[in-house]
Structure 1
């Protein structure tokens, strides 16, 4: 039994007018007639009667209409249910370092919830390494991290390349050459296991810098504030210290040729989930425009 013929009968039975049904379905009237006749032959019952110019349902026609209405209602609910699977819904937890949370997330969250209001977003501020751990522990769905991840089972997508510079408070280098300042002051760096360990090592090798001492800090914001407080010299993203360099609160001693990746990460097996996929696509599309605002 063809659904097409049943659908044609349903429309004819609703309007009891073959001409109207033909217009709604985009068929010719003879085609409508042939489809109804085919259905009647298959069912073994006449479905329509004509009295003069009016069309009526036979008792069999009324029974078939009742069940046809139910059938197409079930099919519609099935299609809606399947479509719902493709919509991003439910909670979505994003973990990222504080700098990304404050500088990028507000604009991206606004853009995302306007398009997908049915998703309940939560943002967690943490280090890049903590973001990776939360993803693996299913405490976060997406991470925005400095660097990339080569951990098995983690999908990583680069969204930006950040420039880094060696910076200091102007009072620390006043009357000193860069070499003298580097020899005197400690180097402020991330705690062991940070996602930028290899990048930092390569940068320091670029200028042949072996710090006289190292102070480990929990976050880039802590490092920046410590440099502003004249505690030591640090290697920081130029985006993070853009304002301070512009106002003269910090000075750039050296800008490195190598750039560090900023990456979106999630579990490989979850990357096609609607909420995760749509959020990552939006971040990829708007990240650079948000940075340039």
Structure 2
């Protein structure tokens, strides 16, 4: 089944043999045995290309599910001995670089047998990564009411519309709102509702909008480079506000909630629980 999974993923017997450490004839023989056992052909060739048959496509779905369950079982059994194995944490680029790096060092000192991985992602992507098991723990700056996800609020911060001090020095607030573009995240983002709330409070309709891919760190740098104005969490720009590089134009009445999330099915995991406990205890101190 593992041989089939690798061949189905790469659709190349030679590559699968190299990955699995087998000879190509061994790979071919294993697939033939599996096809005889199931009574269906799993692969077909058109010219030099290999494709999955309808039976192969169905088997691939179930094989992926099977090995996900096996991996979850192995992880659960490992955790009976305490924190161990791998732990993936998804969060914004800002959280990864400014806060989690500190907590990760503290956690590794407590549990050196755990291998940690940080995955920079925006909040909506973090939720998807938790649901798909690409990440074990997530930190988001939005609400999450999914029935399968456990959520714990870590803290709150104000959302502030800001502009570079150099722009503010030569323009009135009204002129800035009229002249400069609003910098937004590309596509759907966790800030959409907050942005609408801010615009409503200010009776503001931006003349133009520039969309950016990436994270709040990308938007922060763009504002500092005098590209336009943006709505950001106060913690992300606290240093720039303190030293006068950025100037607040409006503080939104709706706050940003930062939350820790993970799957409810994994609430008993020693590795997740140990990191979550450290995160809850230390978050206020690090922010």
1:101-138: per-residue Cα shift (whole Å, max 9, x none)? 01101211122122222211111112122211211221
Indicate whether 1:171 and 2:166 are aligned.
Answer: yes
Q: In structure 1, how many angstroms separate the alpha carbons of the residues matched to 2:198 and 2:268?
A: 36
For residue 257 of structure 1, the aligned residue among 240, 243, 253 is 253
SS of the residue aligned with 1:239? helix
Q: Could you say which residue in structure 2 is the equivalent of 1:136? A: 131
For residue 284 of structure 1, the aligned residue among 245, 257, 280 is 280
SS of the residue aligned with 1:282? helix
The within-5 A match list for 1:145-224 is 145-218=140-213, 219-224=215-220
Q: Could you say which residue in structure 1 is the equivalent of 2:96? A: 101
Q: In structure 1, how many angstroms separate the alpha carbons of the residues matched to 2:255 and 2:248?
A: 16
For residue 106 of structure 2, the aligned residue among 89, 111, 117 is 111
TM-score, normalised to structure 1's length? 0.68
TM-score, normalised to structure 2's length? 0.69
Distance 1:152 1:216, change over 3 A: farther
1:220-275: per-residue Cα shift (whole Å, max 9, x none)? 11111111111111111121112222222211112222210011111121122111
SS of the residue aligned with 1:232? coil
Which one has a bigger Cα radius of gyration?
Answer: 1
Once superposed, what is the RMSD of the aligned Cα atoms? 1.8
The within-5 A match list for 1:11-90 is 85=80, 87-90=82-85
For residue 236 of structure 1, the aligned residue among 224, 232, 250 is 232
Gaps of at least 5 residues in structure 2 are 1-76
Q: Could you say which residue in structure 1 is the equivalent of 2:48? A: none
Q: Could you say which residue in structure 2 is the equivalent of 1:91? A: 86
How far apart are 1:278 and its partner, in Å?
1.4
For residue 122 of structure 1, the aligned residue among 117, 120, 123 is 117
Q: In structure 2, how many angstroms separate the alpha carbons of the residues matched to 1:141 and 1:89?
A: 13
Gaps of at least 5 residues in structure 1 are 1-81
Q: In structure 1, how many angstroms separate the alpha carbons of the residues matched to 2:264 and 2:133?
A: 13
Between 83-92 and 259-268, report the one with greater CA deviation.
83-92
How far apart are 1:92 and its partner, in Å?
0.5
How far apart are 1:282 and its partner, in Å?
1.0
